């Protein structure tokens, strides 16, 4: 059986950093609880300012460099310290902010299948977009490749949206996200997905 380094090389990983993404390290991260395995990929959507695409607002938010006075919306999130493992732009460009072996700060108060604190055992993937709006074909293509890469390295069991782990508090990625497209492309069991229909 191949050792971990050999498996990483085949799957395109350098430890917990995927070589298919541009690496930008966030200070907003921590250790996973000892003995915790990654079993959940958690899909989000984000844009800063909301509904505006292509800027560097999300990158600056995840690296604590956002100018809170630059846009009126930023006053609502002033002081927020968050991160996600990945941010997938609308053109398919992928950025990685946190080593997947570490805990990113993306889910907040959350629970999946009776298990709290999703940050402990999940990999967060933020799609550039707005809840209720559609996402781009390039994003789905890269997302499928990313999920396959994650599943090659980690014992991934489920894919869910932020709305599924924090219902009533979060609504992303929302009705504009095409769960069927992801399920069809991956050919994983229906039970792996929060949305099956």
The span from the CA of 45 to the CA of 130, in Å, is 6
Residue 184, SS3 per DSSP? helix
Summarize the confidence of residues 116-136 as an average pLDDT. 97
Q: Domains of the chain by range and CATH?
A: 4-192 (3.40.80.10)
Summarize the confidence of residues 53-68 as an average pLDDT. 98
- To the nearest whole percent, how much of the chain has pLDDT over 90? 92
pLDDT at 10: 56
Residue with tokens 């996402």: 135
Both tokens assigned to 31: 């250790």
- Could you tell me the pLDDT band of residue 3, with boundaries at 50, 70 and 90? low
- To the nearest whole percent, how much of the chain has pLDDT over 70? 93
Q: Is 128 in the active site?
A: no
Task: Note the pTM of the prediction, 2 decimals.
Answer: 0.94
Q: Does residue 157 carry a pLDDT above 50?
A: yes
Closest C-alpha among 36, 11, 6 to residue 146: 11
Q: Which candidate in 126, 128, 131, 163 is catalytic?
A: 126
Pairing type for strands 158-161 and 40-46 reads: parallel
Q: Does residue 7 carry a pLDDT above 60?
A: no
The span from the CA of 79 to the CA of 174, in Å, is 25
Q: Does residue 178 carry a pLDDT above 70?
A: yes
């Amino acid at each position: 059986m191949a050792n971990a380094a050999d498996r990483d090389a085949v799957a395109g990983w350098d430890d917990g950093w995927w070589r298919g993404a541009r690496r930008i390290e966030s200070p907003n991260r921590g250790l996973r609880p000892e003995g915790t395995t990654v079993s959940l990929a958690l899909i989000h959507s984000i844009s800063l300012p909301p509904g505006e695409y292509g800027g560097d607002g999300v990158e600056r938010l995840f690296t604590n460099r956002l100018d809170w006075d630059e846009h009126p919306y930023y006053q609502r999130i002033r002081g927020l310290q968050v991160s996600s493992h990945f941010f997938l732009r609308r053109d398919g460009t992928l950025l990685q902010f946190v080593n997947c072996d570490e805990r990113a700060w993306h889910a907040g108060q959350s629970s999946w299948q009776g298990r709290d604190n999703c940050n402990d055992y999940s990999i967060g993937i933020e799609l550039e977009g707005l809840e209720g709006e559609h996402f781009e074909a390039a994003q789905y293509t890269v997302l499928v490749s990313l999920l396959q890469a994650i599943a090659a390295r980690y014992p991934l069991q489920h894919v869910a949206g932020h709305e599924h782990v924090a219902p009533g508090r979060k609504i992303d990625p929302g009705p504009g996200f095409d769960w069927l497209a992801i399920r069809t492309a991956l050919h994983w069991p229906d039970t792996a997905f929060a949305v099956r229909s």
